Amino acid sequence: MRQTLMPWSLLGASALLLAGCASAPKEPIETLPDWVANPPKSSRYLYGVGSYERIDNLALAFAQAEQNGNGQIAQQLKTQVSQTTTSQVNVAQSSQGEQVTRNDTLYTRVKTAPIELEQTSNQERYAGLDYVYALQVLDRSRALSRLRLQIDEVESDILSQAKALSPKVIEADWPIYMQLIPSFAQRSKLVEKYQLYSQSGASYEGDDRVKSVEKKLTSAFQTYRFYVPNSAQQSSLEAAFTEAGFQTSRQASTFTVMSNTQTRSETQKTRHYAFMEGTLTLTDRNDTMIGSWQVSARGIGLNDVSAEQKARQAWADAAVEALVTHLSARP
């Protein structure tokens, strides 16, 4: 016998079906704080938003998010952690031809104290379903104030050293000028950072007395010359001195640079290696020895000639750096 499904049975089945749909889990809808997509904007403060995958260790996740937020701020400041200025040569036309100043290049050849940058701070945190977020902030005014104090301290030290200089550049003052290089190198880095943190990026206006000392420093190293006698290392050393911002010439030379090197070669598969060791000796105009340095270097090339050329230049660069480091050290 055919059975007929009663209307109330159909209604019951429909109700059960709707109840089943209603009980199915729904994907949660996450509402993020407004600052995640739209960080605040200010002329005084710089903001950066960082995120990191949510893990069981929330403290570690937030630490990583804050670090990523700091990276956002660094990008805004257009900083590159690994960037090193290798050469900035300013050329000024004069009636006597081109006057080349290599102060910035000279400054990069000496080691300076690390600059303690103003630290960012955390302003907001949010733990989402899958990620955590951090809003980092840098106070420009606070950073600039600290940098200003550091620059003032360095400039005061420069002026103190410069008191021992003669009114005009003389050869006897070369030790003082050499020892001024690290101070100006440190000042250059601080000023660069100051201009970086400045909203407008305007040039830093320093003490006119310090500018005057720097002009004398430039003039001094256009006057002091290094003579490199004919040797296997002559061209490499002359190139290294020029790259470092110094003048090389036999005429009216202030210093004489002597080198004594030895080279050995090795070959491994398709690579050729050249190892160079030797001594660099510096004397003054009266042949009085100022210093002597042991230096070693290595070159790698596709053949023996290429490897040796690279080793010679690497040795010359290291030798000049050792010379500058020693002569610019404060007693």
- Confirm if 226 and 255 have CB atoms less than 8 A apart: yes
**Dihedral angle sign, alpha carbons of residues 137, 139, 140, 146:** negative
For residue 49, pLDDT beyond 70: yes
**Residue 88's pLDDT band (cuts 50, 70, 90):** very low
Average pLDDT over residues 224-245: 93
- CA dist., res. 67 & res. 122, Å (int): 10
Nearest to 236 by CA among 324, 317, 325: 317
**Dihedral angle sign, alpha carbons of residues 262, 268, 272, 273:** negative
Residues paired with residue 275 on neighbouring β-strands, in sequence order: 264, 298
DSSP 197: H
For 165-191, what is each residue's pLDDT tens digit?
A: 999 999 999 999 999 999 999 998 888
**Dihedral angle sign, alpha carbons of residues 189, 190, 192, 197:** positive
> Angle formed by the axes of helices 304-327 and 234-243, to 10°?
50
**CATH for the 225-327 domain, from 3.30.160.150, 3.40.1550.10, 3.40.50.1580, 3.20.20.80:** 3.30.160.150
**Residue 305's pLDDT band (cuts 50, 70, 90):** very high
Q: Where are the domains of the chain?
A: 141-222, 225-327
Burial class for 103, CB neighbours closer than 10 Å (0-12, 13-18, 19+): buried
* Phi-psi domain of 162 (left: phi exceeds 0; alpha: psi -120 through 50; beta: other): alpha
**Residue 8's pLDDT band (cuts 50, 70, 90):** very low
What pLDDT is recorded for position 198? 80
| Backbone angles phi and psi of 127, in degrees to 5 | -100, 110
| Full-model pTM | 0.69
Q: What's the residue count for the chain? A: 331
| Coil/strand/helix, residue 39 | coil
